[in-house]
Amino acid sequence: MAADYEFEFEIKRSQRRKTLCLQIREGQVQVIVPTRTPERQIKALLDKHTPWIHKKLREQAARPAAMPKAYVHGEIYTYLGEDHRLQIIEGPHWPAERIDNDLVVTVPASLADGVREAKVRDRLYEWYRQSALEELQARTECYSRRLGAAPTSVKVKSYKRRWGSCSAGGEISYNWRLIIAPGSVVDYVAAHEVAHLVQHNHSPDFWRLVEELMPDYRHQQGWLNKNGATLAI
């Protein structure tokens, strides 16, 4: 069936799915359908939405992408929307830390080429994850107090295609890469997930609740949709 179209797609069958659904994320087209959906129905869905699929693929291809990092002294890294210069110093094991406008990473002396960069990358990754957890816990608590509904826990994870989630049991999880975005965007995702504690859906009532917590949420949502792929280290 894929040969009938100018784009590649993946079919995912789910026992829990009741309806057919199209998703396009990071240039990948997914068709999510109930387990026993015949191919003719999938083809009909794709035929109907082919112009829309092409439009979305073009839009996503035009979005800015993350620049690859070399993990070398003087390189620029972003934290809460602000640029910080990487400073690499030699010394005994020590966690990465932010000092003024620098991100300081300490590595052992005389590391071989490649090993040094990998060590710097690992130190940065640890620092970003821990900083993301602290920031997102604080922002979640702020919006939870305003809403009067507290999550059972707040965690950070390495999601590929989502920025946050709220389980039916009230556990909120965030993508740690959010901490690279401007603070207002981080606030939007926190408000979004906290609102799910009351409205576990994306109904009009849910979006009204998000707007109460963050009146300009559409602007932050738009920024994330456009620039999300750039949030990487």
pLDDT: which is higher, 54 or 179: 179
At residue 3 the predicted structure's pLDDT band, cuts being 50, 70 and 90, is low
Q: Does residue 16 have a pLDDT over 90?
A: no
76-230 under CATH 3.40.50.410, yes or no: no
Contact 91, 106 (CB under 8 A): yes
Backbone angles phi, psi at 153, to 5 degrees: -165, 160
Which tokens in the block code for residue 35? 């387990």
Per residue in 169-178, pLDDT (tens digit) is 999 999 999 9
What's the rounded mean pLDDT across residues 202-218?
Answer: 96
| Average confidence score pLDDT of the chain | 92
Taking CA atoms, 33 is separated from 13, 23, 195, in Å, by 5, 11, 28
- C-alpha closest to that of 228 among 187, 182, 195, 193: 182
At residue 197 the predicted structure's pLDDT band, cuts being 50, 70 and 90, is very high
What's the rounded mean pLDDT across residues 2-25?
Answer: 85
**pTM of the model as a whole:** 0.78
Residue 207 has what pLDDT?
Answer: 96
Per residue in 100-150, pLDDT (tens digit) is 999 999 999 888 888 999 999 999 999 999 999 999 999 999 999 999 999
Per residue in 28-72, pLDDT (tens digit) is 899 999 999 999 999 999 999 999 998 888 877 777 777 889 999
| Alpha carbon 101 to chain centroid, angstroms | 24
Backbone angles phi, psi at 24, to 5 degrees: -130, 110
CATH 3.30.2010.10 intervals, the chain: 76-230
Burial 216-231 (b: 16+ CB within 10 A, else e): ebeebbebbeebbeeb
% of the chain at pLDDT higher than 70 = 99
